[in-house]
A and B are shown apart, each in its own frame.
Chain A
Amino acid sequence: MAMFSQNPVLNGPNYSFAEVPQHAVDGLREHRFNPYTDNGGSTLAIAGADFAIIAGDTRLTAGYSINTRYAPKVFKIGGSTSSQDDANILLSVVGFAADGEALKERLDAVCKMYRYRHGKPMSVSACAKRLSTILYQKRFFPYYVHAILGGLDEDGTGAVYSYDPVGSYEREQCRAGGAAASLIMPFLDNQVNFKNQYIPGSGVGHELQERERVPLPRNEVEVLVKDAFDSAVERHIEVGDGLQMMIITKDGIEERLLPLKKD
């Protein structure tokens, strides 16, 4: 019946007030408090040969309102002090901001206990697995966030791990998350993983040879990140205000703040 379908039919009978059920539907129905909201914003992470970059915009929204123009989404994790000067891991969270904050604090507490017990910082791969279990522990009342973890692996190579809200995770070369993920990710596929790039004149059809993938140098990645966000700001209302970029290398973590359009 058309009246029960999501989309009303264009020709024929549509929803009629006369047909509104006059009695309660069988079974209990609850109109419950909704514990989630979407605070917008977008994040992006790219791993290089000897560095990893995680970036996020700093806008925090509620519907069409901008709550604040500066709410960081990228955090240092696992330092020995609250100032995180000697942190070795980066975490970005986007989605429901309160869950993101709670998740960040939980993971940081885990890293601090690890340091206390073992006298050394947690490795990125260990932290990545731990984050997955933390998310899965709340499988039936999830942290509503898209988390991305970054750092350097045991060989000093840049590492990026991305997660879904219930803890599925994978190590990747690059990942975009949040409101403008669908705008940024195809751009990254093309510019980082060289998707749909072929060597000119190498053949026709299946004979075409793909351009060889090489890790990008840091300065190019930084420009790429800025371009990605400038484009996202143009087309997505929940993205803008400021760009926070954290770059982790063997020398530590560097933070850069760049302006984005505020409109």
Chain B
Amino acid sequence: MFRNNYDNDSVTFSPQGRIFQVEYAAEAVKQGSVVVGIRNAEELSSYQKKLFAVDEHVGLAIAGLTSDARVLSNFMKQQCLSERLTYDRAMPLETLVSLIGDKAQLNTQHYGKRPYGVGLLVAGVDDSGPHLFEFQPSGLTQEMLACAIGARSQMARTYLEKNLDKFADCGRDELIRHGLRALKETLVQDRELTVENTSVGVVGPKEPGKRPLEAFKVHDGAETKDWINSIADDTETSGDGMQVDE
């Protein structure tokens, strides 16, 4: 009989990246008697929120366990606040990312702990300019020029690599369009980027090269409409007609 080797404790991930004890725990809900919640107006279900504003100059995107991401995001928020309190400055991105890197690394080395089941892209602007960091559950952190993580992200990375040289001179809107085109690459057949399933987080100076910063803002819903429409009918998306099997 099939035996699951990865469900003895809640500190061991399965090779597929699942924590079975947590999923079994969810089954316990089904043992309870029925309750009904109801509300009117507005939609009940929506896509999972994946972008968080950490501080005015930093935001992050997550791929993986949302609850783990919240723990990291809360921690980063606290660190940014205390940096402002003690030094009256925006937390340097490299310092911030290495803090969560160290935190995640500890979990890989101690008995009875489990790694964070989430990957992050941390984007922000500090005194030394704009930065993008990738974070992995192993504790690895790496500064990137462009990056994609999560399901089918290889397609997006391929697009980003192809267009890497263009990004440095891009304006804000053009850069967002590149991001959306890369995102579009990852979609499965017959799916489209829509205002319901797309959010865009942006941080940068109000005027190019100048200081007052426009705080990290997550654009979703109608705010993303123009950007999505502007890439809806361009043909360059699939690069040179490259075909990749899923």
* A interface with B by C-beta (< 8 Å): 80-83, 105, 109, 112-113, 116
Contacts and interface: CB of A to CB of B under 8 A. Distances in A.
Interface residues of B, number: 9
Contact of A109 (B56, B81, B215): B81
B131 interface: no
B77 A113 contact: yes
Given A81-B56, A83-B212, 8 more contacts: A81-B213, A81-B215, A82-B56, A109-B85, A112-B81, A113-B77, A116-B53, A116-B77
A116 B215 CA distance: 13
Identify whether the interface residues of B are mostly helix, strand, loop, or mixed.
mixed
Nearest to B81: A109
B42 to A, nearest CB: 15
Contacts of A113: 77, 81
Interface string B209-239: 0001101000000000000000000000000
Contacts of B212: 83
Contacts of A80: 56, 215
Nearest to B88: A82
A116 B213 CA distance: 19
B84 interface: yes
11 contacts: A80-B56, A80-B215, A82-B56, A82-B84, A83-B212, A109-B81, A109-B85, A112-B81, A113-B77, A113-B81, A116-B53
Nearest to A106: B85
Identify whether the interface residues of A are mostly helix, strand, loop, or mixed.
helix
Contacts of A83: 212
Interface in B45-66: 53, 56
A257 to B, nearest CB: 21
Nearest to B77: A116
Nearest to B215: A81
A105 B85 contact: yes
Nearest to A109: B81
Interface in B111-156: none
Contacts of A109: 81, 85
Contacts of B77: 113, 116
- A-B pairs, top 5 by smallest CB distance, nearest first, are A81-B56, A81-B215, A109-B81, A116-B77, A105-B85
A82 B211 CA distance: 13
A109 to B, nearest CB: 6
B10 to A, nearest CB: 26
Interface in B3-22: none
Nearest to B82: A109
A81 B80 CA distance: 12
Contacts of B84: 82
A158 B215 CA distance: 29
A109 B81 CA distance: 7
